[in-house]
Structure 1
């Protein structure tokens, strides 16, 4: 059974998402909400705190608590996850073709360091968690919209660094992918896995995410290289891309697999009927 403050939060959430409480409007005073529901101010405060963590509300000091523009209420910038190319090299989707590097405070555009590989990155690269790998960190964004930006950490496989040690410094025109394809004499391929999590404080600061309760989208791009004599392609790099979920959505085409190839065969079973052999209705 839900706690009383959770029930109140549910009612207020419905009013916010339905537009009854529009973005950038002040929420009712807590004492008024407490009187409406017959509860204490403390109970209402807990409901407000829950909605704040969800990113629906924000406190503005003595001005009160206000409704935020939530992702469910605004049209986000859809990031189409596909690899394209222009005179500068590869880029991921038409929405970011005009994006450029955002220098770090010390003036660096890319920070190249050696760091312990996180667990998921290590698994994808086939190494032990915490193994020291070369990582190229950078931030890129829209020159005309400072809040439109992303963080990207490129974790490079140790065998690639052995073959191309210059990747630890400059990558030249076209960047790292061009250098690897020139060395290998064949095309790279990619796969991405998209998830969401709450940002670390330094990520929120870098992405200008001043509000609490907003997650980041995380696109983990795995770069593959097929080689002669190898049945499976080798993982070249794992790129950890993060962006604000309050600003961006991920778009991708939905393709038909072989089993759904047109023309399709007519359905022969009722979707709502119990599966055969599960014992339902049998004595």
Structure 2
């Protein structure tokens, strides 16, 4: 931990700039007066943190991290053009990319993960239709996301076309709105986790040190008359946190509606009892 802390400070300070090679492990071990095993463990800490990477037969190198200015901020708003719905103006030009087998939309009936099952209101492991896509910028290979759409069984029963790889012009949201004769609504939950090896490979990410940004979008058919709100789809969207940030507006809540009342308590002196 002490060695990792020292090397981390040297990387952050720029003593070892992005792209530079660290000294040979045996030389660093000698400098710190530790064994190769201890040195490997210290470097493994920095690999997990995403600060350095191992290049086969070349040694350890400081990874290049995009600064805040170069992050692409993904605005979470549903937009529409002549092709149908899309999420955010910065991805308007993105398209479905082929999987390694050449297929653009993989459709299967498989057990639903527990967290997605909870949002859909079904039992974990229940078999549902999932539509898997890689969506990205045709001009920037690394700008891509994975999007798995888990579709509720009740809506695929009404619209069997949703369980096929071609849902027609406008895609599945258009088919659902045409059938329901009213607009869909969306909400999202954003979190982060480490990628699986398969996810890292598909997103052209390193297998260690960089977490995924995960936006779970819930698509609902809003309540109408005596019909309650119904979830039609949960889309599991994953992208590299090294390349993207999530941006969204912060609306004023009811209690903060302008004009606001004058504050009457000292924030730093108020107690929980008050």
> TM-score of the superposition, structure 1-length normalised?
0.89
Gaps of 5+ in 1: 1-5, 279-283
Match of 1:148 among 139, 143, 146: 143
- Residues 194-249 of structure 1 show CA distances to partners (whole Å, capped at 9, x for unaligned) of 11111111111111124422111111000011142347411110000111112111
Residue range with higher mean Cα deviation, 228-237 or 140-149: 228-237
Residue range with higher mean Cα deviation, 64-73 or 154-163: 64-73
The answer (yes or no) to whether the contact 2:195–2:207 under 8 Å persists in 1 is no
- TM-fit CA distance, 1:98: 0.6
**Equivalent residue for 2:162?**
167
Distance 2:61 2:134 in 1: 31
Distance 2:268 2:240 in 1: 39
Match of 1:261 among 248, 253, 257: 257
**Aligned partner of residue 42 in structure 1, secondary structure:** helix
**Equivalent residue for 2:5?**
10
- Residues 19-78 of structure 1 show CA distances to partners (whole Å, capped at 9, x for unaligned) of 332110122344554455454443332111110111110112333211101356773111
**Aligned partner of residue 47 in structure 2, secondary structure:** helix
- TM-fit CA distance, 1:112: 1.0
**Equivalent residue for 2:74?**
79
Distance 2:272 2:113 in 1: 45
Gaps of 5+ in 2: none
**Equivalent residue for 1:203?**
199
**Equivalent residue for 1:242?**
238
> TM-score of the superposition, structure 2-length normalised?
0.92
Residue range with higher mean Cα deviation, 133-142 or 26-35: 26-35
1:62 lines up with 2:46 in the alignment: no
Residues 44 and 209 of structure 1: CA distance in aligned 2, closer, same or farther (over 3 Å): same
Distance 1:124 1:32 in 2: 53
Residue range with higher mean Cα deviation, 106-115 or 149-158: 106-115
Residue range with higher mean Cα deviation, 248-257 or 203-212: 203-212
Distance 2:69 2:46 in 1: 18
**Equivalent residue for 2:186?**
190
The answer (yes or no) to whether the contact 1:71–1:245 under 8 Å persists in 2 is no
Distance 2:213 2:244 in 1: 8
**Equivalent residue for 2:97?**
102
Residues 229 and 73 of structure 1: CA distance in aligned 2, closer, same or farther (over 3 Å): closer
Distance 1:229 1:109 in 2: 39
Distance 1:71 1:119 in 2: 34
Q: Residues 35-50 of structure 1: matches in 2 within 5 Å?
A: 37-50=32-45
Residues 211 and 226 of structure 1: CA distance in aligned 2, closer, same or farther (over 3 Å): closer
**Equivalent residue for 2:123?**
128
**Aligned partner of residue 23 in structure 2, secondary structure:** coil
Residue range with higher mean Cα deviation, 20-29 or 86-95: 20-29
The answer (yes or no) to whether the contact 1:214–1:245 under 8 Å persists in 2 is yes
The answer (yes or no) to whether the contact 2:201–2:207 under 8 Å persists in 1 is no
